[in-house]
Structure 1
Amino acid sequence: MKAENRKLFHELEVEKCLVTLLGSESDGPKIAASQAISAMSENSSSKDFFNTQGIPQLVQLLRSDNEEVREAAALALANLTTCNPVNANAAAEADGIDPLISILSSKRDGAVANAATVLTNMAMQEPLRTSIQSHDIMHALMGPLHSDNPVVQSKAALTVAATACDVEARAELKNCGGLEPLVELLYSKNDEVRRHASWAVMVCAGDELMAVEFCRLGALDILEEINLSVRRKNKFSEAAYNKLLNNNLSLKYSQIGYLSSSNIISDGFYDYGRINPGTKLLPLKELCFQEPSDQRAVLLINSKASDNAGFGSPTEEKAEPASGRNTAASRSAAKEKGPRKGRGKKEEEKLKEEEEILAVPKLTGESSDKEWFPPSDPDFCVYVYEVTKSILPITNIKEQIEALAKYVAEKMGGKISKEKLPDFGWELHISELKFQLKSNVIPIGYIKKGIFYHRALLFKALADKIGLGCSLVRGEYGRAWNEVKLQNESRKGATGGLPQPEVYIVDVMFHPGSLLRLQSREADLYRFL
């Protein structure tokens, strides 16, 4: 129908006739009237007219026993509610949500696609989205997501994107088995299906647990492949890929070797080392259960205390811990005490063995049946407490950075000259920790002799705890560094305002606290061998 014809029909008030036909006793006129309303809805004035007269009648037709009537009514509502929140709200007020969800199990693909469109239009408004979620929408979408019809697949994926906007809805989708079909839809040869599936993945990957699950199902690999194709990629596939990585920072850092200042390291983050694209990154739990080997140590960040007396949260006021209490350092110090008087040599050796056994934390838990928690890190908890107390109050950002760099260097073995780096002995120290912990996973606080990549990770983790913006960059041959942005107020912009901030590398090795301007000779010497 041409636009001028729709305008003419509106002037003749044809909408009133169509509403009357919706109440016809036979199904034929109902179907025809619904189809005509669908066509007339492209006229904005007609769309407004049907808000109070037409939408309630169409909702009633959604409950018809005739599948064709239901499909036609759903099509009319789909067009009336598109880009029209008032009509979407009117359909919900007419109790349209329940019959629309029922239609999702219809055998007619057109009816399913139309119903999904109406629900998507409704879900643009938060109150309606909440109401839709309460009607078990995720379970109802399982059939459409498994459909063979590309139109149904596309509309269903779009409905997921519109309704899975909170943690509870995403958890329900996961429990219903909805993640697997979404990942399968990414393989589709249909551009719209692939685009809407990418959109849904992007929305669902809004929290770390879901992002990790999507990665486990292979979504990241598929999206990476899609984005390499000029023809197949789209803005949603690129956004979904980035969202998955940004909510799975352990994988992002292993694959890309870069965390920005907005990538905040949280408890449970681990640095496995560099992996090639397509290589699966094993979960932390599985890595913790592996026996120690000659592979690179996995560095763990965890500020959650093992008991109620921890110092994990920088926002909570806690009593200052006694020096060395519950730390790895105090445990190792206990082992270094001299021989006890009045005891035989064998008894001393036996006591020493018992102390060493007690000193080793049980990283893998006592039983696989119990709930598993990442290995605790008492020393890192103390680090968080100390930097929160002493460095966070510093008001000058540059001074904060310098103080934190010196603090990190102090905890990781102090200042090292380039000449003495080969004799630093960090490799032996890491090997001893692996043996002591009986694991390749080493909590960062246990490391007392660290080089570039140990110190850069600790700096980033502590900086994130106190809100100090910095990035983490992985280099070659064990190099890693932190980049920060600072204003150089001595250089005014062309208009007298402040210029763009300059990027500096933070030295935590040779001259802790020094800031090296990026691309300067000093910065290059720090980053590269």
Structure 2
Amino acid sequence: MVENKQARYVVAAWEPAIEAIFQQHPSAKLAYTGRLDINDKTRDGFYVQKRLSSPFATLRALLEVADPSQDPVFVCSFQPPDSESISAVDLRTPKYSPTSRSDRSLSPGRLLDDKNLRHYLLRLRIWFGDPSKSLHYLEIEDAHYEVRYRDKCAEVSTTLKQKAALLAEYVAEVMSGLTQERDCSMPSVHLHLADIMMELRSNIIGLGFVKCGGALERALLYKVLADRAGLPCALARACSARAWCEVAVPEPDPEESDVEQNYPAGLLRANYVVDLTQCPGRLLPIGGVDAKLICNI
């Protein structure tokens, strides 16, 4: 459907149908469009191929091959193989079932238990607390929630920036390599991934197994953790190795300091690029020189 460009001009419901499919399958949306917006939430079973290929393969098809000589496939799997619910380790009670239609191709029994990924979530719970019970929590999916006063907006903005920066530093820390040199150059990352695939005897790699990651691996980990920590995060991918994350922080117009403003959470747009590689923890305004360097624009 995505590649049939002629049908878009003939069938009126073509674009809405594709959008509905993408809402239930974020892996496909990222592969075809190169972007997941802040309202596109990843879920258990989200997967990304290291090397972009055509046509887009389902996870079930990739699991059937599972050849360690093939390009890596990163899988987000928070759910223990013998568990029916991930809410015990998730920062937020998921609004979807782990066995929903979009994730039926995921077979936990055929994937190794990704304990590291669950450990990352528990660390975030210690640092951030429960977002659903925090006064600073900003629910992106609730369009009726509004930050009504400028001081409240500043409070929320500061909290989101602090959490976004802390998460970026943590992601960089856990993916900075296994040696004292912390070498995360492209050859080192490829060698590390090859070692993992040979040990697992499969090219299907749980994201938590990766300890030496480049821009793509770090951006993927940041996105899946941010979605569960309540941070409004977008993921962009320009090519096989280049990816970055953006966060949305509500900020008032400094020229209208005396005007009361409303900020519907559902209308937030990403306005900062997160630095995960050069100086992890920096939040760079979109369109700035430093942000363009991160995005290689």
Q: Structures share a fold, TM > 0.5?
A: yes
For the 8 Å contact 2:184–2:212, the answer to whether it is kept is: no
Shift of the 457–392 alpha-carbon distance from structure 1 to 2, 3 Å rule, reads: farther
The alpha-carbon deviation at position 286 of structure 1 amounts to: 2.4
User: How do 1:103-114 and structure 2 match up within 5 A?
Assistant: none
**Residues 263-289 of structure 1, C-alpha deviation per residue, up to 9 Å, x if partnerless?**
10000010025656xx43222122123
For the 8 Å contact 2:47–2:59, the answer to whether it is kept is: yes
| 2:273 is equivalent to residue 505 of structure 1 | yes
For the 8 Å contact 2:247–2:273, the answer to whether it is kept is: yes
Partner of residue 118 from structure 2, selected from 356, 364, 381 = 381
For the 8 Å contact 2:215–2:242, the answer to whether it is kept is: yes
Tell me, in whole angstroms, the C-alpha distance in 2 between the residues paired with 1:425 and 1:387: 28
**Residues 261-315 of structure 1, C-alpha deviation per residue, up to 9 Å, x if partnerless?**
1110000010025656xx4322212212324355431110010013459854334
Tell me, in whole angstroms, the C-alpha distance in 1 between the residues paired with 2:56 and 2:280: 33
| 2:273 is equivalent to residue 524 of structure 1 | no
For the 8 Å contact 2:78–2:114, the answer to whether it is kept is: yes
Shift of the 501–432 alpha-carbon distance from structure 1 to 2, 3 Å rule, reads: closer
Q: Specify the alignment match of 1:248 in structure 2.
A: 25
The alpha-carbon deviation at position 225 of structure 1 amounts to: 3.7
Q: What SS class does the counterpart of residue 453 from structure 1 fall into?
A: helix
| 2:212 is equivalent to residue 449 of structure 1 | yes
Q: What SS class does the counterpart of residue 244 from structure 2 fall into?
A: strand
The alpha-carbon deviation at position 385 of structure 1 amounts to: 1.6
The alpha-carbon deviation at position 462 of structure 1 amounts to: 0.3
Q: Specify the alignment match of 2:148 in structure 1.
A: none
For the 8 Å contact 2:92–2:228, the answer to whether it is kept is: no
Shift of the 245–423 alpha-carbon distance from structure 1 to 2, 3 Å rule, reads: closer
Tell me, in whole angstroms, the C-alpha distance in 2 between the residues paired with 1:443 and 1:379: 9
Return the letter of the residue paired with 1:521: V
For the 8 Å contact 1:292–1:435, the answer to whether it is kept is: no
Return the letter of the residue paired with 1:285: R
Q: Specify the alignment match of 1:226 in structure 2.
A: 7
Tell me, in whole angstroms, the C-alpha distance in 2 between the residues paired with 1:274 and 1:435: 18
Q: Specify the alignment match of 1:299 in structure 2.
A: 74
Tell me, in whole angstroms, the C-alpha distance in 2 between the residues paired with 1:521 and 1:490: 21
Tell me, in whole angstroms, the C-alpha distance in 2 between the residues paired with 1:397 and 1:433: 34
Q: What SS class does the counterpart of residue 243 from structure 1 fall into?
A: helix
Partner of residue 262 from structure 1, selected from 14, 34, 39 = 39
Shift of the 382–474 alpha-carbon distance from structure 1 to 2, 3 Å rule, reads: same
**Residues 184-231 of structure 1, C-alpha deviation per residue, up to 9 Å, x if partnerless?**
xxxxxxxxxxxxxxxxxxxxxxxxxxxxxxxxxxx5555x5411x2xx
For the 8 Å contact 1:504–1:515, the answer to whether it is kept is: yes
Q: Specify the alignment match of 2:231 in structure 1.
A: 468
Tell me, in whole angstroms, the C-alpha distance in 2 between the residues paired with 1:474 and 1:301: 17
Q: Specify the alignment match of 2:60 in structure 1.
A: 285
Partner of residue 483 from structure 1, selected from 246, 253, 258 = 246
Matched residue count? 248
Q: Specify the alignment match of 1:238 in structure 2.
A: 15
User: How do 1:38-49 and structure 2 match up within 5 A?
Assistant: none
The alpha-carbon deviation at position 450 of structure 1 amounts to: 0.4
Return the letter of the residue paired with 2:171: V
Q: What SS class does the counterpart of residue 442 from structure 1 fall into?
A: strand
Tell me, in whole angstroms, the C-alpha distance in 2 between the residues paired with 1:386 and 1:307: 22
Q: What SS class does the counterpart of residue 282 from structure 1 fall into?
A: coil
Tell me, in whole angstroms, the C-alpha distance in 1 between the residues paired with 2:3 and 2:293: 35
For the 8 Å contact 1:488–1:502, the answer to whether it is kept is: no
The alpha-carbon deviation at position 388 of structure 1 amounts to: 2.1
**Residues 26-83 of structure 1, C-alpha deviation per residue, up to 9 Å, x if partnerless?**
xxxxxxxxxxxxxxxxxxxxxxxxxxxxxxxxxxxxxxxxxxxxxxxxxxxxxxxxxx
Shift of the 258–392 alpha-carbon distance from structure 1 to 2, 3 Å rule, reads: farther
User: How do 1:370-409 and structure 2 match up within 5 A?
Assistant: 374-392=111-129, 395=136, 396-409=159-172
| Structure 2: 5+ residue stretches without partners | 94-105, 137-158, 178-182
The alpha-carbon deviation at position 475 of structure 1 amounts to: 1.9
User: How do 1:309-348 and structure 2 match up within 5 A?
Assistant: 312-315=89-92
User: How do 1:358-373 and structure 2 match up within 5 A?
Assistant: none
Q: Specify the alignment match of 1:114 in structure 2.
A: none
User: How do 1:184-203 and structure 2 match up within 5 A?
Assistant: none
For the 8 Å contact 2:75–2:204, the answer to whether it is kept is: yes
The alpha-carbon deviation at position 245 of structure 1 amounts to: 1.4
The alpha-carbon deviation at position 374 of structure 1 amounts to: 4.4
Q: CA RMSD in A?
A: 3.1
Q: Specify the alignment match of 2:188 in structure 1.
A: 425
Q: What SS class does the counterpart of residue 425 from structure 1 fall into?
A: helix
Tell me, in whole angstroms, the C-alpha distance in 2 between the residues paired with 1:488 and 1:315: 25
Return the letter of the residue paired with 1:528: N
Return the letter of the residue paired with 1:389: I
Larger relative contact order (CA 8 Å, sep ≥ 6): 2
For the 8 Å contact 1:502–1:517, the answer to whether it is kept is: no
Return the letter of the residue paired with 1:257: G
Using the size of structure 1 for normalisation, the TM-score is: 0.43
The alpha-carbon deviation at position 375 of structure 1 amounts to: 4.0
Q: Indicate the structure (1 or 2) with the bigger Cα radius of gyration.
A: 1
Tell me, in whole angstroms, the C-alpha distance in 2 between the residues paired with 1:253 and 1:303: 20
Q: Specify the alignment match of 2:282 in structure 1.
A: 514
